[in-house]
Amino acid sequence: MDLAAAILLILLNLASWYTCSDSRLLVKMTLVHNASKIGGFCLDGSLPAYHLHRGFGAGARNWLLQFEGGGWCNDIQSCLERAQTRRGSTLYMNKLEDFNGILSNNASLNPDFYNWNRVKLRYCDGGSFSGDAKFDNGTSVLYFRGKKIWEAIILDLLPQGLMHARKALLSGCSAGGLSSFLHCENFARILPRNTSVKCLSDAGFFMDERDITLNHTMRNFFENLVSLQGIEENLNKNCTSFLDNPKLCMFPQYFLRYITAPFFILNTAYDVYQFHHALVPPTADTRGHWNRCKLSIDSCNTRQLDILQDFRQDMLLALRSFHIYSRRGGMFINSCFAHCQSESQDTWFGRDSPQIYRKTIAEAVGDCVAHCIGMFPTWER
């Protein structure tokens, strides 16, 4: 055994966490062995997993669950490819996960959640933890069992203290942020009535927006995703019964009104992922006119800036009802060109972190968890 392998072996056999010389918090993976009993498998059939770092002191009975992000697969070929990567199999995942930002255990870097029980739910189903189907053509097998994975992880965590939680926050980034929207109500129903349950979505407010060629690129993508992975039955019933096209209930803008648990939305109005994949997908810019603009906002021409500004306005319009009528939630919508801001220390809580009304993201989210009634943080004017 060489030195590198020996060091890795030592790390894997440490207790629940290990602090490196650079002060990183590395948390070991826990496989959910009982997931097989309810059919909760990753795309390739491997067991799902999470990383848990125990809380302490005043936070010992508080829980933060963070859905991992990582896009989606909406056809058989892309899912087969994904199943051979860390996005579709725990076999390829790092067994130690770096906890920072909202998952940090450093009080000076994460003042509201540093001593909570913090859990990162690994993402391996490609459907925002929401599918319930299986593909088997006799040669290849794919498990679209995101909903079962979610249920299996919750069943594993409940007897470890989650069932006695005093406070609980369900969060997630990107595809994980969408998961937080999709599972918020379910999470609130699972926990005891005396548990204070709230939800946070970071970069998960994906828009049903036409691209620059006026095609519904993101809508078509989500429709195929819902059909392939058997997600429709797991979408919000109030939403699916209201819309003529129930698959659109994969978009938060259509079912946000039906979420009754206190909710905090963290997003940039110029979300980079949506900019690159929904507003200006490669299929809509085959000649690469937007390439320089995508690399740097300073390289965008006047027309491109106008289109980006229109996208920002559409997002604010989609959030307007929540902003006006929600008495149990809040928002932090800034104008950075970014995607996911809660998992990076620079944007979460730091000297140069984004601020609205002199509040950093961490402070705004912390205020919401403490109160979240008629919250003030909204968007940059």
Task: Sort 145 into a burial class: Cβ within 10 Å, 0-12 / 13-18 / 19+.
Answer: buried
Which residue matches tokens 């995703």?
Answer: 225
* Phi-psi category of residue 377: left, alpha or beta, with phi > 0 → left and psi -120 to 50 → alpha: beta
Active site residue 323: no
- Residue 51 in 3-state DSSP? strand
Which of the following is catalytic: 271, 285, 326, 342?
Answer: 271
> d(Cα 210, Cα 200) in Å, to the nearest integer?
26
- Under 8 Å CB-to-CB from 226, ≥6 apart: which residues? 232, 235, 247, 250
Q: Give, for 107, the enclosing helix (H) or strand (E).
A: none
Residue 266's alpha-carbon distances to 256, 284, 311, 330, in angstroms, are: 14, 28, 17, 9
Q: Confirm whether 339 is a catalytic residue.
A: yes
Q: Which of 51, 53, 183, 339 is catalytic?
A: 339
Element (H, E) at 241: helix 237-242
CA 248 to chain centre: 19
**Cα(168)–Cα(181) distance, integer angstroms:** 15
Q: How far is CA 235 from the centre of its chain?
A: 16
DSSP state of 277: I
Could you tell me whether strands 25-31 and 62-67 are parallel, antiparallel, or unpaired per DSSP bridges? unpaired
Find where tokens 């870097």 sit: 109
Annotated catalytic residue: which of 46, 104, 174, 179?
174
Eight-class DSSP state of 273: H
Residue 12 DSSP SS3: helix
Positions annotated as catalytic residues are: 174, 271, 339
